[in-house]
């Protein structure tokens, strides 16, 4: 057990939180715009982040005024699945309480932005009335479990991984009723002093914990970036452990890491093994330094053999070695596809996941119209796109008309370069952002398109800080914020997500990003091998040689 005197503030807050209750309910009744530090930390477990408008922050600070506080709420949707009524319910909530935009996250769920404190409870209540909750979408617990969003409707998939993600998520959700007591006015139940968290214990996990489930030929979820990656193989599943991309600039003791192959399990043992892996992280993960608390560090500090031994102690049976997988492939689901039942689904491109109505696009109203009129299902992809499901043959052309009229992008109206791009939210709302991302990457892509590189099918991902929510360390081109208007550029990742990239240039100004990427594309076009992808080319040549070119 860690020395209690050395525990981080977060660990002390969790210990004293009365199973995540804190004084959130009391603070909600106060006529203030924000929560103080302790309850602010606990809000994350309830799916809420306290934020402020950083565009306005300098002026407000200079004039001695309070920050422009608001809140982000993140839903929990294993596999990214929504019914028609659920999507329309979220759209209505968006209109009533938020900045009028919905945002699809890189973990297949929806975020709301711009909610004021006085509307928090009403927003959470209405989300739950739509049979969706936000419990465990953030915080030091198992977060939204990812899966291929069409695995139940596409004939290529033999197992419904969306259902598996839901079942596993339900098994690993926190047990305390604090969420429902605070937000849904559930009456507090006297448990007679019994432990309310048989899985998580009093202090939950040391840090966030991410799980993804997929097939080898559909690595859309970026399997190797997960704390636990689950891959369908003959007779069961391969388990990978220890992935994670967050790190800190100029702190080499922190680093991105790809998950390691760990074991093979039969289907009936999957839940027990995953639970046991979570328990090992709970019992041994770092609680004295949050920068060293993710499971990837526990794996590296102690080794896979030690970790396997600890898991076996908890499962009560020996773990088998993984089965060989020859290659992984990625996909993005864009365009029209036939379903098992004879209906159709269509994947639509939503740049950086932002569903909005503007002068150029009416994505939000277009999706609402289609969902209302044709009663389609909605799925969210790991690339922040939207899939509409259960479309009848006779409705395809009508839906195509609405898509065109709303200027929603499809596989035929978006460049290959933009299609493979992703950015995190970053400024102005994220408190961790060091530089722009969502508001700037589209401009970078537009300039590269003008220069003639639009049809380069290369993954470009941009994050405002090294927490890497848009997963840039596994992109062929990763751009990570360093400070205001400055970025590090990384190259050499694998298109299908099996390799980390390497730093190419540091401290590049925002106005120099296009120039530097264009240089690389020029070299690539003249010196690549036949059918060689950009990331493979950069990895083969090496960053030092690229700098000399």
Of the candidates 94, 162, 469, 538, the residue annotated as catalytic is: 469
Active site residue 208: yes
Q: What is the 3-state secondary structure (H, E, C) of 362-416?
A: EHHHHHHHHHHHHCCEEEECCCCCEEEEEECHHHHHHHHHHHHHCCCECCCCCCH
> Residue 174: which of 346, 60, 14 has the closest Cα?
14
Of the candidates 14, 41, 74, 354, the residue annotated as catalytic is: 74
Of the candidates 21, 41, 143, 368, the residue annotated as catalytic is: 143
Active site residue 76: no
Of the candidates 430, 461, 499, 538, the residue annotated as catalytic is: 430
- The vertex-445 CA angle with 440 and 447, nearest 5°, equals 100
Tell me the backbone φ, ψ of residue 362, rounded to 5 degrees: -125, 60
Sorted by sequence, the CB contacts under 8 Å of residue 317 that are 6+ apart come out as 269
Active site residue 162: no
Q: Quick one: which H or E segment has residue 545?
A: helix 543-548
Of the candidates 210, 354, 364, 419, the residue annotated as catalytic is: 210
- The vertex-302 CA angle with 299 and 305, nearest 5°, equals 85
| Cross-strand pairs, 480 | 463, 488
User: What's the token pair of residue 225?
Assistant: 């970036």
Measured CA to CA, the distance from residue 472 to residue 463 in angstroms comes to 7
Of the candidates 465, 471, 533, 538, the residue annotated as catalytic is: 465
| Cross-strand pairs, 232 | 237
User: What's the token pair of residue 18?
Assistant: 């009365």
Measured CA to CA, the distance from residue 178 to residue 174 in angstroms comes to 10
Of the candidates 162, 263, 424, 538, the residue annotated as catalytic is: 424
Of the candidates 208, 257, 287, 471, the residue annotated as catalytic is: 208
User: What's the token pair of residue 452?
Assistant: 């003639």
Q: What is the 3-state secondary structure (H, E, C) of 311-367?
A: HHHHHCCCCECCCCCCCCCCCCCCEEEECCCCCEEEEEECHHHEECECCCCEHHHHH
How far are the Cα atoms of 129, 468, 472 from residue 490, in angstroms, in the given order? Answer: 44, 12, 8
Active site residue 263: no
By DSSP bridging, strand 344-348 and strand 354-355 are unpaired
Residue 105 near residue 22, CB atoms below 8 Å? no
**Which sequence positions are flagged as catalytic?**
74, 143, 208, 210, 424, 430, 465, 469
């Amino acid at each position: 057990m860690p020395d209690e005197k050395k525990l981080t503030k977060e660990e002390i807050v969790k210990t004293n939180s009365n199973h995540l209750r804190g004084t959130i309910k009391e603070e909600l009744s106060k006529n203030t715009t924000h929560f103080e530090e302790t309850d602010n930390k606990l809000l994350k477990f309830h799916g809420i982040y306290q934020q402020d408008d950083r565009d306005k922050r300098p002026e407000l600070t200079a004039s001695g005024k309070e920050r422009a506080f608001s809140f982000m709420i993140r839903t929990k949707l294993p596999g990214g699945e929504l019914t028609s009524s659920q999507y329309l319910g979220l759209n209505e909530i968006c209109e009533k309480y938020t900045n009028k935009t919905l945002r699809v996250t890189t973990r297949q769920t929806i975020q709301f932005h711009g909610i004021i404190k006085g509307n928090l409870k009403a927003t959470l209540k209405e989300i739950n009335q739509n049979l969706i909750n936000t419990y465990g979408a953030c915080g030091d617990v198992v977060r939204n479990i990812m899966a291929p969003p069409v695995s139940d409707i596409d004939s290529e998939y033999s197992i419904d991984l969306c259902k598996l993600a839901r079942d596993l998520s339900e098994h690993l959700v926190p047990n305390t009723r604090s969420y429902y007591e605070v937000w849904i006015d559930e009456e507090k139940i006297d448990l007679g002093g019994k432990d309310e968290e048989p899985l998580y214990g009093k202090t939950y996990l040391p840090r966030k914990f991410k799980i993804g489930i997929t097939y080898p030929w559909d690595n859309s979820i970026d399997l190797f970036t997960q704390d636990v990656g689950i891959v369908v193989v003959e007779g069961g599943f391969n388990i990978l452990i220890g992935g994670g991309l967050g790190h800190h600039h100029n702190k080499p003791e922190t680093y991105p890491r790809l998950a390691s192959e760990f074991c093979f399990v039969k289907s009936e043992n999957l839940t027990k093994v995953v639970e046991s892996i979570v328990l090992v992280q709970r019992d041994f993960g770092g609680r004295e330094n949050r920068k060293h608390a993710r499971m990837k560090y526990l794996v590296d500090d102690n080794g896979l053999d030690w970790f396997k031994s600890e898991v076996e102690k908890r499962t009560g049976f020996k773990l088998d070695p993984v089965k060989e997988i020859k290659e992984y492939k990625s996909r993005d689901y864009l365009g029209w596809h036939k379903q098992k039942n004879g209906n159709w689904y269509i994947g639509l491109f939503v740049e950086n996941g932002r569903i909005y109505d503007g002068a150029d696009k009416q994505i939000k109203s277009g999706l609402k119209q289609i969902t209302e009129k044709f009663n389609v299902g909605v799925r969210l992809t790991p690339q922040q796109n939207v899939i509409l499901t259960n479309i009848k043959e006779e409705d395809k052309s009508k839906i195509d008309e609405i898509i065109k009229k709303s200027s929603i992008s499809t596989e035929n109206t978006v460049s290959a370069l933009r299609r493979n791009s992703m950015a995190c939210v970053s400024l102005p709302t994220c408190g961790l952002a060091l530089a722009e991302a969502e508001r700037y990457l589209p401009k970078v892509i537009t300039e590269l398109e003008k220069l003639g590189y639009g049809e380069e099918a290369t993954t470009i991902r941009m994050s405002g800080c090294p927490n890497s929510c848009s997963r840039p360390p596994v992109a062929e081109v990763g751009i990570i914020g360093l400070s205001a208007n400055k970025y590090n550029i990384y190259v050499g990742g694998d298109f299908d997500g099996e390799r980390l990239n390497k730093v190419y240039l540091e401290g590049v100004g925002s106005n120099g990003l296009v120039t530097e990427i264009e240089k690389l594309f020029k070299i690539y076009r003249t010196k690549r091998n036949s059918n060689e992808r950009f990331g493979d080319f950069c990895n083969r040549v090496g960053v030092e040689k690229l700098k000399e070119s």
